[in-house]
Amino acid sequence: MEMQLANIISGDFLFRMVIDLVVITILVRFIYYPLYRNSDFVFSYFLFNFIVFSLTYFLHNVEVSMGLTFGLFAIFSMLRYRTESISIKEMTYLFVSIAIAMLCAIIKTTPLGLSIISGFILVLTWFIDSNFFLKKEIRKTVLYEKIELIKPGYHDKLMDDLRQRTGLNIHRFYVQKIDFLRDTANLKVFYYEQRGKSNKGDVSDDSSEDGSGDA
């Protein structure tokens, strides 16, 4: 089935494209980037969004199965990032960018209705991913050499030493493993994330793991 040029430059397509670009710009530039300060995925979010929007809009017009369309892009995104170091949060934002593209491309509603729905998605995303909704607790593993401080009576001194040496506002920890041969202990430390600041350091990030047992 041939696509007419008039369909490409139609008022409906241009309006939906403008709404989509405005929404994805707000999502990436004013929600994602200020929170994570990571520009590595900005290009991918914009490009995935625009490609999915364009293909979904035109494939929808020729009555191609939407389930097939979404499935193809979901599989492609998984294959593209299967070997990359991408967190669940980044993958979630990728899914949101794809969902926004599909929503703007096919939803049948008024311009005001599309704007309200898109705005609601943006507000909900910002609120849930902000510290207003829930503080994000980061977990890191520390190899600690002052083994005498792991005794229950010295935990306050251990906490002060960890805060001073790591520069992190650690509020709890627990001992994972003790090596008496090397006089070291593996500690799992916990602190709240400070948005917009790098958490890089000499300790490994275990924020994807589950910890238990407080100091």
Give the pLDDT band (50/70/90) at residue 167. Answer: very high
Kindly report the number of other CB atoms within 10 A of residue 29's CB atom. 13
Answer for the pair 189, 173: CB distance below 8 angstroms, yes or no: yes
Which of these ranges, 32-46, 91-105, 159-173, 201-215, has the smallest mean pLDDT? 201-215
The reported pLDDT for the residue numbered 207 is 47
**Ordered domains of the chain (ranges, CATH):** 5-128 (no CATH), 137-205 (3.30.70)
Q: How far apart are CA 17 and CA 24, in angstroms?
A: 11
Please tell me the predicted confidence (pLDDT) of residue 123: 96
Measured on CA atoms in the order 11, 14, 18, 20, is the torsion positive or negative? positive
CA atoms of 114 and 106, how far apart (whole Å): 10
Which pLDDT tens digit goes with each residue over 144-164?
999 999 998 999 999 999 999
Question: What pLDDT was estimated at residue 70?
Answer: 61
DSSP conformation letters of 87-135 = -HHHHHHHHHHHHHHHHHHH--S-HHHHHHHHHHHHHHHHHHTSTTT-P
203, 189 contact by CB (below 8 A):
yes
> What is the pLDDT confidence band of residue 8, given thresholds at 50, 70 and 90?
low
Residue 49: how many other CB atoms lie within 10 Å: 26
Nearest to 77 by CA among 52, 113, 106, 103: 52
